[in-house]
Structure 1
Amino acid sequence: MSTDVSYPGVYVTEADGVNLSVYPVATAVPIFALNNTSPNTEGLFNIATKIYSWADWLNKKGNKNNLTYVEDGVINLYFANGGGPCYVVSVTTLAEQVPLYDDITLIASAGQDISTQVATLCQDGNSLFAILDGPETEITSAYNPGDSFAANPYAAVYYPWFNLSWANKDIPPSGAIAGIYCSTDRTRGVWKSPANVAIQGGAVLKYSVTDDLQGQFNSGMAINMIRALDSRGPAVWGARTLDDSDNWRYICVRRLFNSAEKDIKTALRPMVFEPNNAPTWEKVRSAIGNYLHQLWRRGALVGATEAQAYFVDIGEGTTMSADDVALGKMIVRVGMAAVRPAEFVILEFTQDVAGA
């Protein structure tokens, strides 16, 4: 747009084109799969419903406030452990409802078998992560996680269940764990493992876990144990996904990439139908680079320099061929050096013997 100037001064013009910035959005918004046959919630939540607090949960159930049901304990422990706004939905409509809500990032099993839904929903590009409950019964060294769960970098399992005296029920751990994901993301960042955190809300472990038992299930198809190791009471003592590969072994790494993918994809939507040329590529490179720079500054990425911590590649001859450009494909390659947790802290003591 040209500016007609006739006198000395400052003139403002608005440049045409799309301004591009990448902003972080909420990383922990769970949806809980509810028992569709429970008298507590039957017929109420076939459509996903947003819940903002424990009081809101009681209100949206109407007069079904007996508080002796599993889902009451799950939601109570979720908010007691730092949970924010969440969704609830019947397990039978879970897979149909989740794709309708862009803000959902976590799926919590709430004691339900959601294996089929997780396999469908928690895949590459969906930015979803599942929090699954381990067996309600006591496990021994003979237990095989593969009988109940499939390998999946987008899911993690927690054991054991809790007992809540006020509910007089055994309660699955996924509600409390989802709350800890929320509080850890909020206070430390999605790149911090949601572990070594005490469970709030009066939950008592249904079974105790020994070092040997945890050691057996801390690799391969890992189960994240909840243990009472000190005066804090039950605490989350595991941070692994259901994938033991070097890339996706840890929950915080997988969820950091989920979060970055979601933020970047959202930011790039305005670029659809923009010219697929060098000025556009530079705008994209700059926006993503600024976003990753902030992650690095906040401690999410490893590296003494930006070049060691992340990269953004885009351009013909780099990420695209001439044919790609002709076909309207704008391909961006993003790399991040994610921080991994210090899972094993090893102390080495040396005795310093004084000389004679």
Structure 2
Amino acid sequence: MPVTVSYPGVYVEEDASPSLSINNSATAVPAIIVGNDDRLVKGSDNQQCMRITSWLDYVKNVKTILGEDYAFDFGSSDDGHRDTAIRAYFENGGGYCYLVLGNCATARIPCYDDISLIVGQGVLDVDSADIGTLCQPGTGRFAIMDGSQSEMTSTYKPAWQSNPCVAVYYPYLRANWTSNNIPPSVVVAGIYCSVDRTRGVWKAPANVYLPANYQPLYKVIDDLQGQFNSGLAINMIRNAVGGGTVVWGARTLEDSDNWRYIPVRRLFDSAERDIKSALRSMVFEPNGQPVWEKVRSAITNYLYGLWQAGALVGESEKEAYFVQIGEGLTMTSDDIAQGKMIVNVGMAAVRPAEFIVLQFTQNVGQG
């Protein structure tokens, strides 16, 4: 209510109503599993994880914990494999991340709201209970895992369970600065970070070239990829026509139309995470029309931004998304009496053009 002023001085006008806006959070923050050797992470604040921002930051932390004489030789030791993986991650565009012990991943990763990617890095098996616990719809986390370390053939039978929050990559890679085979998951995790920064989480992290010195350990031909590009899909890293190594696949381990593609699943993860975070400020607010309108307006503005950026399909906002909230629409009187605020949010996510079919017709008889 406006303050009535009648004499010179300082007047206070208070507005107790909460404001609500939804911010875009970081979409690609990996937790890289580094085995069960606790020497590295024991020096960090929580005794379980190490947050690093760059390769140089990693070097500094390792030398602080393991000694200034520590040698980064990228050899066949456990240290060498770990160092190789972290360097490959940052060389391929990776941003800040966490190093997490494999034996405490399920306990520690959920403690970090910003972790959105789990990177197996040749350590965590895609069949393990860790993936089922950490990466499911609603968790906001997506797993990047490694396929077979040996050469796959047409008789290879993956035993993995269908999961829309997991993507698998094959084959391992080699680079001229290490004698180790490099897990594809760390390389692709760096690409996820780079694509998210430059294009957005809705852009498939595929048709992206690796640095020139990275080469697939095994050759992938069309027939092999065709066999593993449906059902429990495995995404291939291949030598491209004309040279270069390219990520050539963007599928999850779910073959349904809804969650087949990585960017669709990750876009929903990102939106769910952002909206959930913003709505925490509405807990214990009056569950009535004024608050409902604030929630509807905030989510609508957020989705409008996604649509404008190209993340959603539709020539109009109505085609691209909807937000519903209200008694008789999303809530009953009983829901409201029980303190439930229910919001329906719909998005028409953009799907990648995985198959581009050119149809040529010879127009005979035209002069």
In the alignment, what sits opposite 1:28? 28
In the alignment, what sits opposite 1:127? 140
Contact 1:80 1:201 in 2 (8 A): no
Contact 1:30 1:87 in 2 (8 A): yes
Contact 1:36 1:43 in 2 (8 A): no
Residues 103-252 of structure 1: matches in 2 within 5 Å? 103-114=114-125, 115-145=128-158, 147=159, 149-200=160-211, 202-252=213-263
Q: Which secondary structure state, in structure 2, belongs to the residue aligned with residue 13 of structure 1?
A: coil
Corresponding letter in the other structure for 2:27: T
In the alignment, what sits opposite 2:61? 60
Hey, what's the Cα distance between the residues in 1 that align with 2:261 and 2:7?
63
- Alpha-carbon distance, 1:37 to partner: 4.5
Classify 1:207/1:276 alpha carbon distance in 2 versus 1 (closer, same or farther; 3 Å): same
Corresponding letter in the other structure for 2:142: F
Contact 2:212 2:245 in 1 (8 A): no
- Alpha-carbon distance, 1:19 to partner: 0.2
Hey, what's the Cα distance between the residues in 2 that align with 1:135 and 1:189?
29
Contact 1:289 1:311 in 2 (8 A): yes
Hey, what's the Cα distance between the residues in 1 that align with 2:324 and 2:212?
47
Contact 1:73 1:164 in 2 (8 A): no
- Alpha-carbon distance, 1:247 to partner: 0.4
In the alignment, what sits opposite 1:19? 19
Which of 84, 87, 101 aligns to 2:98? It is 87
Gaps of 5+ in 2: none
Hey, what's the Cα distance between the residues in 2 that align with 1:279 and 1:210?
59
Residues 237-316 of structure 1: matches in 2 within 5 Å? 237-316=248-327
In the alignment, what sits opposite 1:50? 51
In the alignment, what sits opposite 2:352? 341
Contact 1:160 1:206 in 2 (8 A): yes
- Alpha-carbon distance, 1:232 to partner: 4.6
- Report the TM-score, using the length of structure 1 for normalisation: 0.94
Q: Which secondary structure state, in structure 1, belongs to the residue aligned with residue 209 of structure 2?
A: coil
In the alignment, what sits opposite 1:4? 4
- Alpha-carbon distance, 1:165 to partner: 3.0
Q: Which secondary structure state, in structure 1, belongs to the residue aligned with residue 169 of structure 2?
A: strand
Corresponding letter in the other structure for 1:67: F
Corresponding letter in the other structure for 1:181: Y
Q: Which secondary structure state, in structure 2, belongs to the residue aligned with residue 227 of structure 1?
A: strand
- Alpha-carbon distance, 1:67 to partner: 2.5
Hey, what's the Cα distance between the residues in 2 that align with 1:19 and 1:43?
41
Hey, what's the Cα distance between the residues in 2 that align with 1:170 and 1:294?
42
- Report the TM-score, using the length of structure 2 for normalisation: 0.91
Q: Which secondary structure state, in structure 2, belongs to the residue aligned with residue 328 of structure 1?
A: coil
- Alpha-carbon distance, 1:164 to partner: 2.5
Hey, what's the Cα distance between the residues in 1 that align with 2:265 and 2:329?
26
- Alpha-carbon distance, 1:289 to partner: 0.2
Hey, what's the Cα distance between the residues in 2 that align with 1:90 and 1:122?
17
In the alignment, what sits opposite 1:330? 341
Q: Which secondary structure state, in structure 1, belongs to the residue aligned with residue 100 of structure 2?
A: strand
Measured against aligned partners, the alpha-carbon deviations of 1:129-160 in whole angstroms (never above 9, x if no partner) come to: 00000010011111112x2x221000100000
- Alpha-carbon distance, 1:71 to partner: 1.8
Classify 1:101/1:35 alpha carbon distance in 2 versus 1 (closer, same or farther; 3 Å): same
- Alpha-carbon distance, 1:201 to partner: 6.5
Corresponding letter in the other structure for 1:352: N
Q: Which secondary structure state, in structure 1, belongs to the residue aligned with residue 181 of structure 2?
A: strand
- Alpha-carbon distance, 1:231 to partner: 3.8
Measured against aligned partners, the alpha-carbon deviations of 1:167-202 in whole angstroms (never above 9, x if no partner) come to: 211111111100100010011000000000011262
- Alpha-carbon distance, 1:42 to partner: 8.5
